[in-house]
Amino acid sequence: MNLLNKSESIKNHEITALENLEKSLKTIKKNNDNINAFLEIKEEEAIQKAEKIDSKIKKGEKVGKLAGLTIGIKSNINIEDFKITAASKTLENYIGSYDATVTQRIKDEDAIIIGTTNMDEFAAGSSTETSYFGYTENPAAPGRIPGGSSGGSAAVIAAEMCDLSLGSDTGGSIRNPASHCGVIGFKPTYGVVSRQGLLDLAMSLEQIGPFAHDAGGIALMLDTISGYDLKECTTLKETPNFGEITEKSSELMKGMKVGVVKEFFDVSDERIVDIVEGRIDEMRESGVEVVELSFDYIDLCLPTYYLINYVEFFSATRKYDGRKYGYRIEDVCGEEVLRRIHTGSYISQKEYSGKYYKKALQARSLIRKEITKLLQGVDAIVGPTVPKLPHKLGESLDPLEMYAYDVLTVIANLAGIPAGSMKAGEVNGIPVGLQIQGKPLDDDKIIQMMAGLEDAK
């Protein structure tokens, strides 16, 4: 059953909210000890919420659009009375004192927040292996990483522990694990979703976004969490209308034009390329026009992204000094977090900021300009989400090898454009993602394409 149908079934009381919750809790109890995707669960509060929703429905009272659906939220997004740790010892005892804007909007629509999900420490990683609370297993490819940094949020969907989940995406942290776990993950246009209540990794790049099994679920969650927020200065006053995407149909794609960027395929594993090209051939057969494009700045993207990331992350972590809450971050954090703090501190020094950071900002402007130019003549750009298959858990990678996972995803963050990943196929049982990137505020068009590709299967 797709999520839109499930949502309607709960509202019509064909399935009760409590029955839906109990199914999620049963799956969690069976699998979470091995997968380690949820960090904290509040079962009693969830049951009370489900009973209240069922009571409202029984009385004929109006309920929200997410009524009775079960939700997991990445542990760097504030939820009142939950431990908001960002998977770090730094904040292992920090209890959220308020709801992030997205959390409040989810609660207002009668969803059931089950718990917080695992992640790379402070979102600094691409594998969910750097969590202080242990790595997360990939339910779709056991023994391999689920991707990161929102690996727990992807895994809870892949393992059917809940209906929807939230992650954050700074350079691919939603799309990367969506690809590795074989689910849909979506990074909205910068400013479409409020970041109020998010523990930032890099504020000028980061967006909160959803995971789901189908495009309808993505649309439903975005319709809930998107929109202007008086408390968050980067939010946009005009955002796409996701409520209209209710039917999946390959008819939606007919007449669309998509671009295929040669360089995105050149840097990718041949096995991934074969799978993605197969899906693009299916798009052609369903009436989509495919045009070849070229992007000459792919080698510039990773260094540009990481230089900006380092500086903004260093700035964001200065509040973790051990005085107001938690421990001093440098005293307890993991190797990757410390690496980014030290590098960011170095680059932020007056004598180096012009040499590194300001040049990175100039490069970012160039990348945004070139991607905007590529998108002018097409509805979207399609290609691989990540250039290589997920490595085995515990396998040793140097930092540059780990960063290489991000080469195709950082572009959307640097340009501020929407991008989503959906399953394209498998290589020896390992999921491979298809990435769709669009013009700013064309988020709904990307979801329509995803819906059409689902329908065309």
pLDDT tens-digit map of 337-370: 999 999 999 999 877 777 889 999 999 999 999 9
Q: Would you list the DSSP string of 76-106?
A: TB--TTSB--TTSGGGTTPBP-S--HHHHHH
Residue at 54: amino acid letter: D
41, 114 Cβ separation under 8 angstroms: yes
pLDDT at 251: 72
Residue 231 has pLDDT above 80, yes or no: yes
Question: Confidence class of residue 241 from pLDDT cuts 50, 70 and 90?
Answer: confident
- The pLDDT assigned to 388 comes to 98
Please give the helix or strand (H or E) that residue 225 lies within, else none. helix 215-225
At position 141, the amino acid (one-letter code) is: A
Q: Which residue has the tokens 């904290």?
A: 40
pLDDT above 90 covers a percentage of the chain that reads 91
Write down the catalytic residue from 7, 75, 131, 149: 149
CA distances to 49, 104, 108, 227 from 61, rounded to whole Å, are 15, 20, 14, 26
Mean pLDDT of 28-36: 98
CA atoms within 13 A on the CB side of 4: 16
Is there a catalytic annotation at residue 74?
Answer: yes
> Would you state the pLDDT for residue 124?
96
C-alpha 148/C-alpha 151 separation (Å) is 5
Residue with tokens 């195709």: 408
Higher pLDDT among residues 325 and 307, named by residue: 307
The pLDDT assigned to 140 comes to 98
Residue 66 predicted with pLDDT over 60: yes
Could you tell me the residue ranges of all domains in the chain? 3-225, 252-456
Report residue 93 as tokens: 């005892």
What CA–CA distance (Å, rounded) separates 407 from 17? Answer: 41
Residue 269 has pLDDT above 60, yes or no: yes
Give me the pLDDT at residue 246, please: 53
289-293, strands of its sheet edge to edge: 38-41, 112-117, 70-74, 164-169, 207-212, 184-187, 419-427, 430-438, 380-384, 257-261, 289-293
What tens digit of pLDDT does each residue of 328-339 get? 999 999 999 999
**For residue 420, what pLDDT band results from cuts at 50, 70 and 90?**
very high
Predicted confidence at residue 46, as pLDDT, reads 98
Cis peptide leading into residue 294 (ω within 30°): no
**What class is the 252-456 domain?**
alpha beta
For the stretch 92-116, pLDDT in tens is 999 999 999 999 999 999 999 999 9
Which residue of the set 74, 107, 187, 439 is catalytic?
74
Q: Which CATH class is domain 3-225?
A: alpha beta
Do 3-225 and 252-456 come out as alike in CATH topology? yes
pLDDT digits (tens, 9 = 90+) for 143-173: 999 999 999 999 999 999 999 999 999 999 9
| Residue 219, token pair as written in the block | 């649309």
Token pair belonging to 189: 């246009």
149 belongs to the catalytic site: yes
Q: Which of 75, 173, 194, 250 is catalytic?
A: 173
pLDDT score recorded for residue 455 = 78
Q: With 70 as the cut, is the pLDDT of residue 248 above it?
A: no
> What SS3 class is residue 135?
coil
Q: Considering only CA atoms, which of 250, 199, 242 is closest in space to residue 66?
A: 242
Both tokens of 70, joined, read 């079960």
User: Which pLDDT band holds residue 245 (cuts at 50, 70, 90)?
Assistant: low
433: Cβ–Cβ under 8 A, 6 or more apart, which residues?
A: 175, 178, 179, 180, 182, 384, 385, 386, 421, 422, 423, 424
Task: List the beta bridge partners of residue 435.
Answer: 383, 421
pLDDT for res 250: 63
Element counts in the chain: helices (H) and strands (E): 17, 11
| pLDDT at 182 exceeding the cut of 80 | yes
Place of tokens 């170095």: 346
Reply yes or no on whether the pLDDT at 249 is more than 60. no
Residue 263 has pLDDT above 80, yes or no: yes
Q: What is the mean pLDDT of residues 21-29?
A: 98
The per-residue DSSP string of 310-352 comes to HHHHHHHGGG-BSSSSS-BHHHH--HHHHHHHHHHHHHHSHHH
Mean pLDDT of the chain: 95
